[in-house]
Structure 1
C-alpha cells in the first residue's frame, strides 16, 4: 500500500475518474450506443405504426391512389408479411404508385433503391401497369409475379407487347366514339 501512496503522491494526487481520458471515452461510447439503440427502437415503432395503418386501410378498402407512399413503406409491407397480416391490396397499391411514379417514388433515386427492396411480383405488376396504363383489380395481375419469378425479361417483353397491341385498339375505339 505504501508504494501505491508513493506513486499517487508523485503523479499529483488522488485518482479521479472524471479526469481519466480512457474512462471518459468509454462513458461517451456507452452513451452513443444507448442513443443508437433508442433510435433503432423508435424507428421500429414507427415502422410498426405504418404497417398497422396500411393494414387498416387495406382491410377497409381505403388503400388507393389517394394514400401517398412514404419512405419505409416497403419495409412496412415486410412487417405485415412477417407478422401474418399481409394484404395483397398493399402490393397492388405499391405497384400502382411505382408505375405512376407517385408519392415518394417520384424521386428517381428512391425508385432505384426501391426496385431492390420490392418483391419481384410487385415490380412485375408495376411494369405491366406502367406499360399498359390500365389499373388492375386485386389479384388480377397475380400471374405477373409468377411470370417475373420465372423470367423477369419475359415479363417486360409481355408488357411491351401489350403496350403495342393495345394502342391500335384504343385508337380505333376513339375513332368510333368520335364518329358517333
Structure 2
C-alpha cells in the first residue's frame, strides 16, 4: 500500500501528516479516548465526593451534630493525609468546592501541623478541629502562616 501511495505521488512531493487522513483519524481517535478517560475520572471524583457528602448528611440527620463533627474530622484527616479518594489531585481540587469551610480549614491546618510535628498523634491535634469550627478563616490563615514558616516540603 505504501508503494502505491509513493508511486502515485508527484515527484518532489513531501509527505505531510497534517493532510494524511489516516494519521488524522488516528489522532482524533486517540484524543477522543483520552477525553473519555478524563471525563470518567472527573465523574468518579464527583461521585466519590458526593458519596462523602451524602454520608455526612445522612449521619448528621440520624444523630445530630455529634456525628457531623466526627464525619467532618474524618473528611479533614483524609484530605490532609491524601487518603482514600483524596489521594487523587483532582479529588482534592474538587473537594474545595464541595466541603464546608471548617472542614477545609481543618484539613489545611492538620496537613501543616503534621508536616511540622510528624510524630503528633490524632489526640494531640484535636484542637485543630475546634479552631477550624470556631474560626475557619483564622484556621486557614494559620495554616498558610505555618506553611510559610517552614516552606521546604
Q: Could you state the TM-score of these two structures normalised by the residue count of structure 1?
A: 0.44
**How do residues 81-160 of structure 1 correspond to structure 2 at under 5 angstroms?**
81-85=60-64, 86-87=66-67, 88-133=69-114, 134-137=120-123, 140-141=127-128, 142-148=130-136, 152=137, 154-160=138-144
**Aligned pair 1:74/2:53, yes or no?**
yes
CA offset digits 1:3-61 (Å, max 9, x no partner): xxxxxxxxxxxxxxxxxxxxxxxxxxxxxxxxxxxxxxxxxxxxxxxxxxxxxxxxxxx
How far residue 145 of structure 1 moved from its aligned partner, in angstroms, is 2.1
Aligned length: 93
> Aligned pair in 2 of structure 1 residues 146, 80: CA closer, same or farther (>3 Å)?
same
Alignment root-mean-square deviation, CA: 2.5
Change in Cα spacing, 1:113 to 1:146, as seen in structure 2 (3 Å) is same
Greater RCO, CA 8 A, separation 6+:
2
Q: Mark the runs of 5 or more structure 2 residues left unpaired by the alignment.
A: 1-46, 115-119
Query: Which structure has the bigger radius of gyration?
Result: 1
Q: Is the 8 A contact 2:73 2:103 kept in 1?
A: yes
